[in-house]
Amino acid sequence: MSHNTTSNTDTSTESQPESNENAKQDTAESTYTTVESDSLLKSSIGTADHGQSTNDTVPIIETHDLDVYYGDEQALQSVEMTIQEKRVTALIGPSGCGKSTFLRSINRMNDLIDLARVEGEVEFQGKNVYDENVDPVALRRKIGMVFQKPNPFPKSIYDNVAYGLRVQGLADEVDLDAAVERALKNAALWDEVADQLDKSALELSGGQQQRLCIARAIATDPEVLLMDEPASALDPVATSKIEDLIDDLAEEYTVVIVTHNMQQAARISDKTAVFLTGGKLVEYDDTSKIFENPEHDRVEDYITGKFG
Ligand SMILES: Nc1ncnc2c1ncn2[C@@H]1O[C@H](COP(=O)(O)OP(=O)(O)OP(=O)(O)O)[C@@H](O)[C@H]1O
């Protein structure tokens, strides 16, 4: 994919190993029924070239009438959105329009915010993630998350990547070594750290730490990667590496990225969703359409920098 852009969430909950929750993994895996191909709607939507033809896109996430409230304040209003598998979907819009809230509602990170209340549905592979029998911790293994500020654990590079695998029960050293190497290669970090896997992750540069967090997220083989402004704390060179990496990751994963940087959205995404004030999804289309010929005047005004 090659088009031609970049806030923050509370990362504190993410920086802690989730040992008690991770113990539920086995049970949780079974909460996901095997996805029957029939249950996935075929769609002709699509423009991009992330390894599929334009007519061969498959929905992986669908939201229906999604409302999110923080106390009395409504942050998302009736969002209907279908996210295609193995595509990069960018979420853009002015500060406070609900982009991060939307992202967090996909893998139930909003559950960790006391004030947050979610109504409506988020279907992942045809199953509502808010159903009672869905284990949110297992869900977050299938739908991993990367934050604005890199948040490696204060452990070695190797142990950061191996963490989730060990929690899942992988103990064999040869298998672990192979899985760590594969994740670091897929995160475009292996060449830089292969001979220093025992070094503390905190000694890496910011850009390397972010790629390590991506390696940690993909080590457990998720389906979807949610990224909340993953490059906004990085310098241009590190940003460019992350953008190239996102492009590669979309061959294998579905990527949903929040960015304030419209050039970045235009460069890396296949689809773009524009949220505007009040938590409304105003326009959602192929990225080229959004940036070249949007339907709504307000979207055009936002894209051209008239507000936001
Ligand atoms: N933890 C929270 N508690 C209370 N209100 C919140 C919380 N998180 C977000 N909000 C409110 O919900 C609305 C949407 O916020 P959100 O962070 O999702 O927007 P955003 O588009 O991602 O903004 P930004 O681009 O500035 O990060 C805002 O009015 C915000 O103040």
Give the pLDDT confidence of 19-50 residue by residue, as tens digits: 333 322 222 222 222 222 222 122 222 334 55
How many whole angstroms from 264 Cα to the centroid of ligand 1?
Answer: 21
Alpha-carbon distances, residue 72 vs 68, 75, 115, 117, 120 (angstroms): 10, 10, 9, 10, 17
CA-wise closest residue to 131 among 280, 225, 208, 31: 31
Q: What is the largest CA-CA distance in the chain?
A: 57
Nearest CA to ligand 1 atom 24: 95
**Within 10 Å of residue 254's Cβ, how many Cβ atoms?**
25
Tally of CA atoms within 13 A in the half-sphere of 55 that contains its CB? 0
CA-wise closest residue to 208 among 146, 256, 148, 152: 152
* Interval 238-290: pLDDT, tens: 999 999 999 999 999 999 999 999 999 999 999 999 999 889 999 999 999 99
Closest approach atom of ligand 1 to CA 93: 21
What ipTM does the predicted assembly reach? 0.98
Tell me if 247 sits within 8 A of 227, measured CB to CB: no
Quote the pTM value.
0.83
Tell me if 228 sits within 8 A of 3, measured CB to CB: no
The arithmetic mean of pLDDT across residues 119-141, rounded, is: 95
Tell me if 285 sits within 8 A of 291, measured CB to CB: no
Q: Report how far residue 76's alpha carbon sits from residue 296's, in angstroms, rounded to the nearest whole number.
A: 19
Ligand 1 proximal residues by C-beta, below 6 Å: 7, 70, 75, 93, 95-101, 113, 115
**3-state secondary structure at position 66:** strand
Nearest CA to ligand 1 atom 25: 95
Alpha helices for 83-186 (secondary structure H): 99-106, 136-142, 157-167, 173-186
